[in-house]
Amino acid sequence: MQKSANEIKSVLVYVGLDRLGDGLLKLPFVHGLRSSFPKAKLTWFAGKETTVYAKALAPLVDGHLDEVIEYGGVGLEPMELLRSRPLKGRHFDLIIDTQKIVWTSLSAWRIRHDTFISPAARFLFSSKKPPRGYKSPKAMQRQMLDLLEIASGKKIPTPSKLSIGITGTRRGEAQRLLPKVKGYIGFAPGSGGRPKCWPLDRYIEVARHVAEQGATPVFIIGPQEQEWIDEITAAVPDAILPLQIAPADHGFDPMLTLALGERLSKAVSNDSGIAHMLAVAGTPLVALYGPTVYEKFPPMTDTITVIKAEEFGSREMSAIPVDAVSQALDALPERALVA
């Protein structure tokens, strides 16, 4: 007999791994998980690799998740189906498998449980299933919220934005780095893959346009784009690179980037983890897309202008013209500074 949501005392959520953008998009699921199962111990289980909930985004799930497990040994290879049960025989009232690979779902199913929810093979292995005629939505975030609805029996709306908790320490650092009350325009030219990057010289051209209008360009440069620093500072001398002038021990902490996002009036970004951080921080955003699909991983903000390279005849980022980005940025409303 299946337990009601209030009777469930333990829940395991299986993911393969979580990068930064994944973790930010999954926050509504995590928040909904806690509200749906208020009396349960909630375990986040990264079966293949790491999850940002263990370290980088741990402050954002504090109070929501009770346990985070990395490198869980589930989803690595089909031969694991022949080995002993994962997690040394631990039992969970409910397991929610968030991915769709059949053999991986079978491997996660081998963890002892009462109820198992999985979208694999059209919910073939699920104890509960969606209504007849159900179609999986394009957006990963909505797919996960649908799984939570099936598991809990409760409606979970898709949020247009999210309230997050940023520590006073990081907010204080961001205020010291960007002390003005308005006029900071953000630029995030990097991404996890260079094919997703709009050419740097075009970011520089838009930044010069911003500076001519009296605003201050702010470049958010991560550890993978360090070779761009000299070119940016030479071409846009009024620009601020806050992560490069912050105390060296910040380690590119996402919480600092989130706090910096709160100081920006608006920003331009590629499809990247930083785009999702700026969106969660409430920064009005011009988001640039080329080879990736906006509809699958849309940034979580209700103030966004999306520019797709395919609108200009190609999926390569270089197809996006400077004028289109400058005009979109000019038209984007500025937001009031977060105190």
Domain membership of residue 1 (yes or no) is: no
Which of 124, 152, 180 is the C-terminal boundary of a domain?
152
- Residue 234 scores a pLDDT above 60: yes
- Residue 163 scores a pLDDT above 80: no
Per residue in 164-198, pLDDT tens? 777 778 889 999 999 988 899 999 999 988 999 99
pLDDT category at 140 given cuts 50, 70, 90 is: very high
Task: Specify whether 69 is located in the same domain as 96.
Answer: yes
Task: Specify whether 174 is located in the same domain as 313.
Answer: yes
Task: Specify whether 141 is located in the same domain as 175.
Answer: no
Task: Specify whether 123 is located in the same domain as 174.
Answer: no
CA of 30: how far to CAs of 36, 56, 153, 330, 336, in Å? 10, 15, 16, 35, 28
Taking residues 85-113, what's their average pLDDT? 96
Could you tell me the CATH number of the domain that includes residue 136?
Answer: 3.40.50.2000
Domain membership of residue 5 (yes or no) is: no
Our CA angle for 202, 256, 207, nearest 5°, is 20
Task: Specify whether 197 is located in the same domain as 123.
Answer: no
Per residue in 9-49, pLDDT tens? 999 999 999 999 999 999 999 999 999 999 999 999 999 99
Task: Specify whether 104 is located in the same domain as 190.
Answer: no
pLDDT category at 81 given cuts 50, 70, 90 is: very high
Domains identified in the chain, total number: 2
Task: Specify whether 108 is located in the same domain as 140.
Answer: yes
Which of 152, 180, 198 is the C-terminal boundary of a domain?
152
Q: What is the pLDDT of residue 3?
A: 77
Domain membership of residue 64 (yes or no) is: yes
Domain membership of residue 99 (yes or no) is: yes
Q: What is the pLDDT of residue 335?
A: 84
Task: Specify whether 50 is located in the same domain as 198.
Answer: no
Task: Specify whether 139 is located in the same domain as 196.
Answer: no
Q: What is the pLDDT of residue 337?
A: 67
- Residue 262 scores a pLDDT above 90: yes
Task: Specify whether 185 is located in the same domain as 122.
Answer: no
- Residue 76 scores a pLDDT above 90: yes
- Residue 161 scores a pLDDT above 80: no
Q: What is the pLDDT of residue 118?
A: 98
Which of 122, 152, 182 is the C-terminal boundary of a domain?
152
SS3 call for 311? helix
Domain membership of residue 325 (yes or no) is: yes
Tell me how long the chain is: 339
pLDDT category at 296 given cuts 50, 70, 90 is: very high
What percent of the chain is modeled with pLDDT above 70? 98
Sequence-ordered list of residues with C-beta below 8 angstroms from that of 159, at least 6 positions apart, any chain: 28, 300
Domain membership of residue 300 (yes or no) is: yes
Phi/psi for 288 (5° steps) reads: -105, 130
Q: Which domain holds residue 174?
A: 168-331
Per residue in 195-227, pLDDT tens? 999 999 999 999 999 999 999 999 999 988 999
Task: Specify whether 102 is located in the same domain as 178.
Answer: no
Phi/psi for 283 (5° steps) reads: -75, 120
Taking residues 113-136, what's their average pLDDT? 96
To which residue do tokens 């709009």 refer?
198
Task: Specify whether 213 is located in the same domain as 281.
Answer: yes
Taking residues 261-288, what's their average pLDDT? 95
Domain membership of residue 185 (yes or no) is: yes
Amino acid in position 96: I
Question: Rounded mean pLDDT of the chain?
Answer: 94
Domain membership of residue 158 (yes or no) is: no
What percent of the chain is modeled with pLDDT above 90? 86
Give the distance from CA 59 to its chain's centroid.
14
Distance CA 259, CA 127 (A): 42
User: Buried b / exposed e across 108-139, counting CB within 10 Å, b at 16+?
Assistant: bbebebebbbbbbeebebbbbebeeeeeeeeb
CA of 214: how far to CAs of 49, 111, 185, 189, 207, in Å? 46, 59, 10, 21, 11
Taking residues 93-113, what's their average pLDDT? 97
pLDDT category at 1 given cuts 50, 70, 90 is: low
